[in-house]
Each structure stands twice: as structure tokens, then as C-alpha cells.
Amino acid sequence: MSDKLERELRKALERVEPPAGFAERVLARAAKEDASMPQPRTWLRWFGTGGLRWAAASALCVSLATSGILYHYEREKQGERAKEELMLALRITSSKLQFATQSVERMNFPEQRER
Amino acid sequence: MEDFAPLGARVAVYSGSNGRRWGNVTSAATAPAKQASFEELVREHERMVFSIAYRFLRNGAAAEEVAQDVFLALFRSLSKLESPEHAVAWLRRVACHRSIDYARRNRNAAAEVSWDELAGGPRESGRAERESDPMLSKRLRQVVAALPDKMRMVVVLRYQEEAGLEEIAQAMRIPVNTVKSTLHRAHAILREKIGSSIGEGNV
């Protein structure tokens, strides 16, 4: 394709001016369409802007954090309780063993008791 | 230009060709801002959109109808636009597709209108008519008008819009190689029909 023909094509196919008042007619149609579109309610609009979404996200974060802390605290308490129960059981066992040892000793060496 | 991602209900605010700026404002508070942005875009790109439709459809009334529809579609999609360049590419692409669709729907009506009947049509920009042979320009427009739809649109985008191959491919959503081959075929037809008129014989 020669440069000359390309040049002539560019000249022949130059942009044309739109008819007078074209932009005004487009703007009028857009304004009409905009006016006929139902306006969202205030809270919906707020939701649309992201306000409610941010609030929901924040509330979710706070509740997750609170749940985590409570769960951790509860686990700690359960651990303490189990430890105390174990210590009590060990103490009981220990006293029982001591009593049993003394009884056995008394049976084996009655003379010691008589002296 | 400021880069930003489109965000749901946000509206791109376009501050005009002198101080181009794109920003974000929420749709709730900016109906006037939206209208102002839209008006800027219409006034800046009306020639491009109308010319694409007009060169393709060869009918002033049809071109106005298509161009108005393109701008209304733009109005509905303002929130999706990311930059002035994106707006131009978007308008070009939608203008192409709407023009092709319109031509398909109104095949018979469009075919009845020839360039000869468009003497009272839109004004040419002037430079072309002053600097070149009006008869040759008219003949070139006639040959282009007779090209098949897609080929005609490729030629319009290439020589009216000075679009690159990539840009044409994006606007028409076809591969770059298809654009190349289509242009090649269009050149062959133009050479055959017009070559002798511009003193190139069988160019």
C-alpha cells in the first residue's frame, strides 16, 4: 500500500462534526434516564457507600477477638481446676499410703509397740 | 492521571481536558458531579463516536442514534472507567460494536443510503476537503463504504482514528493477525479500485 493512497485515505476519512445540539440531546436523555432510576433508600445508600460493610467487618473482627480471648481464658481456668484436682488426689493417695504403711509396720513389729 | 481501581458504587469524576484528573467519590453525594463528568466526556469525544458510526453506517440519522446509545451506555458504566485512556478505548469499542450491530439489524435501510445522497450530511472537518481532490475523497469513501462490515470498520479505525493494530484488535475483539490480514485485503481492494485515480496505476 503506497504512502500516497494511505494519505488520501486519511484525508477522505477524517472525522466529521456531529449535528448541532448532539451533546445537548445526549445529556438530556441521560438526565431523563437518571431521574427515572429509583433512588436507593438512605440506609441502602449508606450500605452502597461501604459504611455498613465497614461496620459489619469491624464488628466481626471485634467479636472474633473477644471470642479468642474468652476461649483462652476458659482453657486456662480449666487447666488450673484440673491441676488442683490432681494435687488433691495425690494428697489423698499419699495419706492413704502413709496409713497403710503404718498399719503394716504395726502388724510386723508388735514388740516395738509393747516396748 | 491518578490510577485507582474501580470500586463498586464509586463514580469516576473527570475534570476535563485542561486539568485531567480522575478521582473517587461516592455515588450517593455526587449526582451533579456525575453529570458534570459525563458532560465533559460527551463534549470531548462526540466527534470520535459520531464519526465512527457515521463513516460505518453512511447515514446521519442512524449514526446519531448509535452515538447517543453509546453515550447512554457510557453514562450507565461511568463507575467502571478507570482513566481517560480507558474511557477512549471503551467508547471506541462500544461504538464499533453498536455500529456493526445496527448495520446488521437494518441491513436494507442502510444499504439504500449512498454517499451521493449525503450532500446535506454532517460537515467534513475541512482540512481534508481543502488539501485533497474532493472527487478522489468521495470516490475513496464510496469504495470504503462498499467494503464488508468488519473490513470497513478496520479501515475506519485505522485511517479515521489513526488506531494501531493492537488498538483495532482490542476495539473489535479480534486477533492482531486478523486485523493485519483484513487490512491487507482492504488495501488490495482499494488498490484495484482507486490505484489509477491517484496516479499509481496498479499500485
pLDDT more than 70, % of chain A: 82
pLDDT of residue A39: 62
Q: Are residues B137 and B103 in the same domain?
A: no
Render pLDDT for B134-188 as a digit per residue (tens, 0 to 9).
788 888 899 999 999 999 999 999 999 999 999 999 999 999 999 999 999 999 9
Grid coordinates representing A90 are: 495425690
Q: What's the CATH number where B159 sits? A: 1.10.10.10
On whether any CB of chain A is under 8 Å from the CB of B64, the answer is yes
One domain, residues B20 and B85:
yes
User: Which residue of A3, A5, A34 to mutate against B (max B Cβ within 10 Å)?
Assistant: A5
ipTM score over 0.90, yes or no: no
- Same domain for B109 and B137, yes or no, is no
Looking at B65, B92, B121, the residue that finishes a domain is B121
Cβ atoms B171, B89 nearer than 8 A:
yes
* Reduced 3-state DSSP string for chain B: CCCCCCCCCEEEEECCCCCCCEEEEEHHHCHHHHHHHHHHHHHHHHHHHHHHHHHHHCCHHHHHHHHHHHHHHHHHCHHHCCCHHHHHHHHHHHHHHHHHHHHHHCHHHHHHCCHHHHCCCCCECCHHHHHCCHHHHHHHHHHHHCCCHHHHHHHHHHHCCCCCHHHHHHHHCCCHHHHHHHHHHHHHHHHHHHHHHHCCCCC
- Among residues B62, B45, B44, which one has the least CA distance to residue B53? B62
Quote the CA–CA distance of B58 and B176 in Å, as a whole number.
Answer: 26
- A-chain residues near B154 (CB < 8 A): none
pLDDT score at B114: 45
pTM value? 0.63
- Bridge partner list, B25: B11
Cell of A39: 433512588
Q: Which amino acid is at A82?
A: A
The distance of B63 to chain A (nearest Cα, Å) reads 9
Separation CA B37–CA B42 (nearest Å) = 9
**B 78-137 residues with CB below 8 A of A?**
121-125, 127-128, 131-132, 136-137
A43, A56, B30, B165 from A51: Cα distances, Å? 9, 9, 16, 44
Please tell me chain A's helix, strand, coil percentages from 3-state DSSP, rounded to the nearest 5: 85, 0, 15
Q: Check CB contact under 8 Å for A18 and B162.
A: no
Contact B42 A27 (CB under 8 A): yes
Distance (Å, whole) CA B74 – CA A32: 15
Instruction: Write out chain B's pLDDT in tens, 203 residues.
Output: 333 334 333 445 555 444 444 554 444 446 677 778 889 899 999 999 999 999 999 899 999 999 999 999 999 888 888 888 889 999 999 999 999 999 998 876 554 444 444 444 565 555 555 556 778 888 889 999 999 999 999 999 999 999 999 999 999 999 999 999 999 999 999 888 887 666 654 43
Torsion of CA B79, B84, B88, B90, to 10 degrees: -30
Considering the domain architecture, whether residues B135 and B145 belong to the same structural domain is answered as: yes
Together in a domain, B75 and B161: no
Same domain, B90 and B159: no
> B68 and B131: one domain?
no
The CA distance from B1 to B19, in Å, is 9
Query: Per-residue confidence at A56, pLDDT binned at 50, 70, 90?
Result: confident
Q: Which residues lie across from B14 on neighbouring strands?
A: B22
Which residue from A4, A33, A46 is facing B198, i.e. has the nearest CB?
A4
CA distance B116 to B123: 14
Q: Which of B38, B132, B200 sits opposite A11 (nearest CB)?
A: B132
The domain boundary, picked from B121, B143, B159, lies at B121
* Domain CATH code at residue B116: 1.10.1740.10
B113, B188: one domain? no
- Coil, strand, or helix at residue A110? helix
Distance CA(B143)–CA(B155), nearest Å, equals 11
Are residues B159 and B82 part of one domain? Answer: no
Interchain CB contacts (distance < 8 Å): A and B = 140
B51 touches chain A (CB under 8 A): yes
Q: Residue A5 is nearest to which of B31, B128, B198, comparing CB atoms?
A: B198
State how far Cα A25 lies from the chain centre.
50
**Spatial distance between the Cα atoms of A15 and B125, rounded to a whole number of angstroms:** 6
Whether B128 and B190 share a structural domain: yes
Confidence (pLDDT) at A53: 80
Q: What is the pLDDT of residues A36-51, one digit of tens each?
A: 766 656 666 666 667 7
**B170 & B70 share domain:** no
pLDDT of residue B33: 72
Q: How far is B174 from chain A (nearest CA, A)?
A: 22
Same domain? For B8 and B78 the reply is yes
Q: Which domain covers residue B165, as residue numbers?
A: 123-203
How crowded is the C-beta side of B46, counted as CA atoms within 13 Å?
Answer: 20
Name the domain boundary from B121, B155, B187.
B121
3-state DSSP of A15-52: CECCCCCHHHHHHHHHHHHHHHCCCCCHHHHHHHHCHH
Number of domains in chain B: 2
